[in-house]
Amino acid sequence: MTETKSSGGAPVPQAPDATAEVKSALAGFLNEFSQFQDDMTTKIAKQEERISMLNTKTMTHLRPALSTAVDEGAPHKKAIGTYLRTGDDDGLRGLELEGKALNTAVNAEGGFLVDPQTAEQIQGVLRSSSSLRAIANVVNVEASSFDVLVDHTDVGAGWATETAAATETDTPQIERISIPLHELSALPKASQRLLDDTAFDIEGWLAGRIADKFSRAEAMAFISGDGVDKPTGFLTHTTVADASWSWGNIGYVVTGTAGDFDAVTPADAIVDLVYSLGARYRAGAAFVMNSKTAGAVRKMKDADGRFLWSDGLAAGEPARLMGYPVLIAEDMPDIAADAMAIAFGDFNAGYTIAERPDLRVLRDPFSAKPHVLFYATKRVGGDVSDFSAIKLLKFGTV
């Protein structure tokens, strides 16, 4: 603001220069707008960079991988693939799998360990197959046998007063059950021409064939194996009427009719079987029978006309009989005179499967030319570990 003097000599204020203020304000606005443009340009550039990175990652996932990411299993997976296709085992020598040096004496020890992914694929099939493995107790061991210690009596107990002398109580009886491991083998074969085809998934094919062979052999042995170079099945043990049951035997109840259920009250035999098992085992119990027997049982009704059998409500859920799950095991015997066609029990307590986690494969290109044989082996055993946890239904009169 400027000042002038009046005629009396006093200063008189004058209005500010409007043009100067407009120029100053315009200069400030242009400066701020320039800074805004610079900021927006920087942000747009960063955004375009991010979009470019996302597009690159997306296209990378859509393209076929040109190389496998480096991980701990990749060297062994590549080496075992080369060995299966060509027999070249140089890549396997000196590698380590899960902290263990891989065996280099192929003939002495029976082949090389397969990679963990293939082994897990086989184990997954075994666990999901319709065999006793689905409900039994499965343990991994490193030894050639597995010992189970079972206390099949109650520790003695008694009441005592403050001044009276304590009486001696009974001592528990400990049973040692030894489960030896046996060699389970499979021998799938493929032509060398098929192996030379790089598009052929040799490991997936081999895992599927081995799992199929192993699952069928195990399922039979866990039920009726005689214990000679194979697991001991629970039906192999001596069976006695449940009224005279003793340790070391499997108890049974009868249907009252040879080779069939009772014509008037067929469901009574199922009820008798359930309640022949001790209360402490019933909470984890399951039925085991084959498809033919299941076809006969699922038609049964109780006194009020309700079916004893109910199908699973969700996918993968087992059917239930009197509220207990049913395992369909085709190796169980058919209904016949004196046949033990239905088993009921807590198999997690009553039957133990012991196995070594490693799976070995030996390539044999000579025995079946022009085909190549793959000799796959693993060690597994099984036996009854608690004789009071399993009961049988006998289709007979005594």
**206 — phi, psi (to 5°)?**
-65, -40
Q: What is the pLDDT of residue 20?
A: 73
Cβ–Cβ contacts within 10 Å for residue 167, how many?
Answer: 9
Per mean pLDDT, which range of 124-128, 374-378, 385-389 is the poorest?
124-128
In the 8-state DSSP scheme, what is residue 20?
H
- 135 and 194 in a single domain? The answer is yes
Cβ–Cβ contacts within 10 Å for residue 332, how many?
Answer: 23
**353 — phi, psi (to 5°)?**
-110, 120
Residue 68: is its pLDDT beyond 60? no
Q: How far apart are CA 327 and CA 343, in angstroms?
A: 10
- 390 and 271 in a single domain? The answer is yes
Please answer whether residues 312 and 318 qualify as being in contact, where contact means their C-beta atoms are separated by less than 8 angstroms.
Answer: yes
- 256 and 318 in a single domain? The answer is yes
Q: What is the mean pLDDT of residues 264-269?
A: 92
- 207 and 347 in a single domain? The answer is no
Q: What is the pLDDT of residue 242?
A: 95
- 265 and 390 in a single domain? The answer is yes
Please answer whether residues 383 and 231 qualify as being in contact, where contact means their C-beta atoms are separated by less than 8 angstroms.
Answer: yes
Residue 241: is its pLDDT beyond 90? yes
Residue 281: is its pLDDT beyond 50? yes
Q: What is the mean pLDDT of residues 339-356?
A: 95
Q: How far apart are CA 278 and CA 242, in angstroms?
A: 12
Percent of the chain with pLDDT over 70: 68
Q: What is the pLDDT of residue 62?
A: 44
- pTM for the full predicted model: 0.68
Sign of CA dihedral 128, 133, 138, 144: negative
Q: What is the mean pLDDT of residues 14-31?
A: 68
Flag whether 364 is in a domain: yes
Residue 57: is its pLDDT beyond 90? no
Please answer whether residues 393 and 256 qualify as being in contact, where contact means their C-beta atoms are separated by less than 8 angstroms.
Answer: no
| Residues paired with residue 150 on neighbouring β-strands, in sequence order | 175
> Any idea of the CA torsion for 326, 250, 390, 298, to the nearest 10 degrees?
20
CB burial of 18-36 (b: ≥16 within 10 Å; e: otherwise) equals eeeeeeeeeeeeeeeeeee
Q: How far apart are CA 218 and CA 60, in angstroms?
A: 44
Cβ–Cβ contacts within 10 Å for residue 294, how many?
Answer: 18
Residues of the domain holding 272? 239-351+386-394
Confidence at 106, pLDDT banded by 50, 70, 90: very low
Residue 190: is its pLDDT beyond 80? yes
What 3-state DSSP class applies to 364? Answer: strand
Confidence at 70, pLDDT banded by 50, 70, 90: very low
**270: CATH:** 3.30.2320.10
- 90 and 218 in a single domain? The answer is yes
Confidence at 44, pLDDT banded by 50, 70, 90: confident
Q: What is the pLDDT of residue 357?
A: 79
Q: What is the pLDDT of residue 98?
A: 43
Residue 180: is its pLDDT beyond 80? yes
Mean pLDDT across the chain, nearest whole number? Answer: 78
Q: How far apart are CA 232 and CA 123, in angstroms?
A: 21
Output 250 or 73, whichever has higher pLDDT.
Answer: 250
Output 28 or 96, whichever has higher pLDDT.
Answer: 28
Flag whether 30 is in a domain: no
Q: How far apart are CA 49 and CA 52, in angstroms?
A: 5
- 338 and 380 in a single domain? The answer is no
